[in-house]
Chains A and B, each alone.
Chain A
């Protein structure tokens, strides 16, 4: 079905785009803080805390570094926000096909490349200020991208192979609806675990928050940001909590169903992934960038490669 402009606007602005992803992302952000607090024997913030934070940032003053490149400094968080919403929409349109929005958009290669845009903007925006901490963080951000990208490509390839060699996300989903979730096979299970750890790094969550490293380089690339621009960064990061787990669900957990108990089952998939990520986040200290490279290139990549070979063999 060809999508009308109205549908597309609805998709990008309301569902599954900006509004839905933003609200859900901020709620998950609250969940993150609450679970973290419980792990550390604290009470944690109230439900509305993340919304309050975001709207408060919108009302604050923006400080721009006088000697920096102003336009790039302003544009970077907006591009990051746009690309994050775009990923969420592309994945979401495919996941929620029953909405009737044309699903001619979910291409895995496009999504993989769009996912790099976020890191690129973190680097460009951060170093546009000329702050030395931002430059340090930028260097780490790009190394982290390199670290997880290789394993992540293989993870995606596993789904591509199992779906009969196609990059179309809807075809990958359709195969799973016909043959069961990919995670149920050995190759799918390995790829899912590796993929989950890759997400952890892609979202720069602990133990991979090397580029922001608050205690060491003071949030690195985001250091000079304030006001609405910082709000946009935080909103994009919250949205990644939706977009990336959704992608993993589409690739290995067979997407969402909305009939009867299917809703609960769908919810469980998502919340399950999120809680596992929060727990990993809370139980691991920050590692160094060379350790991260080592971990991803020498441990996870061979594992993911094994999964690829198993997938080719049909296991």
Chain B
């Protein structure tokens, strides 16, 4: 009998292939039926039906607690996003969108359940390819530029993954091509090269600093459903999945490496959110946040103690929910207005109330407002960091405290940035040209409200539901014992206490009930449209502040962008070779002789 694990990879793959030659209506039906079946399969696997799949006698697919956890949320998220996509894609794009959607699910599933590093490499690479193809769907110049950038960064980092996995095999041949348990000690240059070679693709996929620059570009130009699917949700799951394998299974990580990863995490949080604040395009703003939130996951997984790991992994699923939700609400707005430029929209909250509610809940969740899920996971990450601080020397303590401070401040900046986002789209004064806009279609608001509801449920029942059922069991796989929390927070009593006062206030208001409706009061001035405040300029003071001004100016010119820096470096090399390439035969002879000498020298040195 075929293993459920094989099915969960094969079914979406087959659906995708069949879909390439089906009419549009059947495409949708088949995809949704297939994904619903995958949900059932993953339920079976959760209930213990995940027996390993073999090929030529060796295990290729298996599940442990970590991959099961990621697998479940790949199915849940892709199903919800598919519901949204059913009636939102531009008809001409549907032809490619739905097959790509199934392929994506198949490849991501494959990557998380394979124990073999070569098969992992294949699925991982393919998931980068579908990302690129999604980016090409709009068929504009800007979109193909962004897709290219994405492919260069994500696909380019796969080269390092190949190198890293080969080195892992070389360092511990006994484990074969195993990915799940090599436990290599970090000693010697090769081990470090291997460690960094795997860290780079994990960062590139998840969008960690400094390899994050493709995320906002991709978010700006690709179809928004694909942005919600990959960079916002599944790429986070894959990238952090690899990071967790790297930190806990592949290597025995030293304190210095923990500190390095935490620092990169904190820098990711702060740099990306500073960039997000000043964006005028809604998609780019969300794209930068999709980067910034990765910082918390990296910090959590990088810290390496049980609480932080719980927090990091929990933040990973939380992020997929609220970020997918935010992208989709923006998608609903964009379908109605035709633009994601925040300056142009405004005051839509009254016309699109359900989308607005979903956006507010997701925005609160990402900013870490209790009792939503984003708060709980950040709270765990902070505690984990604090626990690490307790056990290190003073220099490292100060260093980690700076990281902790940046992370906590990062969520204030996130909040600020989302106040701007909500204000620019839903609040403030509406422009007359948007007067006719209506609520999004039911499949869209069901999807976004569903995600918002998940955020609330995972926030209120964080301990009994996601943590106890899915995440805490992972600790045992990694040989960690759950530790006591360093804080005390119970979401439900806190919400109830709050609710008592809220309801009391509401009762007072309703009991008094003297209400009159009137126009805006402007002290006798006329309410002209030119006095509208879009909200996009909220942070100009920060943008113009002295050291930050320099940073922002250079960042906008992409002076810190790895992609552009790499491009410049490559250009420089090309120029160098061009200069040498002069067409004089005797010079070519000289180069050949010199080159041969160098090769002989290298061989001599190696042997």
Contact = CB atoms under 8 A, between A and B. Distances in A.
Interface centre among B369, B428, B518, B535 (most CB of A within 10 A): B428
B487 A135 contact: no
Nearest 7 pairs between A and B by C-beta?
A135-B533, A167-B487, A127-B427, A82-B501, A82-B502, A107-B487, A139-B538
**Size band of the A side of the interface?**
35 or more
B427 A89 contact: no
Nearest to B497: A12
A113 B382 contact: no
Nearest to B390: A165
B532 A132 contact: yes
Interface in B380-400: 382-383, 386-387, 389-390, 394, 397-398
Nearest to B493: A8
6 contacts: A82-B501, A107-B489, A110-B370, A113-B369, A120-B369, A130-B347
A63 B518 contact: yes
A12, A66, A117 — which one has the most chain B CB atoms within 10 A of its CB?
Answer: A12
B11 interface: no
Contacts, number: 243
Interface stretch (A147-155, A175-183, A267-275): A147-155
Q: Is the interface of A mostly helix, strand, loop or mixed?
A: helix
A293 B535 CA distance: 18
A79 B360 CA distance: 14
Contact of B422 (A107, A124, A143, A228): A124
Given A113-B368, A160-B386, A293 B542 contact: yes
Contact of B512 (A18, A228, A308): A228
Interface string B531-545: 111010111011011
A64 B487 contact: no
Contacts of A313: 394
A131 interface: yes
Interface of A: 3, 8-9, 11-13, 17-18, 58-69, 71-72, 74, 77-79, 81-83, 85-86, 89-90, 104-110, 112-114, 116-117, 120, 123-124, 127-133, 135-136, 138-139, 142-143, 145-146, 149-150, 153-154, 157, 160-161, 164-168, 218, 223-224, 227-229, 232, 289-290, 293-294, 297, 308-309, 312-313
Contacts of B405: 150, 153-154, 157, 308
Contacts of B501: 12, 17-18, 81-82, 85-86
Nearest to A104: B488
B536 to A, nearest CB: 10
A194 to B, nearest CB: 14
A312 B520 contact: no
B607 interface: no
Contacts of B430: 67, 130
A142 B416 contact: yes
Contact of A82 (B386, B394, B411, B498): B498
Contacts of A64: 515-518
A140 B512 CA distance: 32
A106 B523 CA distance: 45
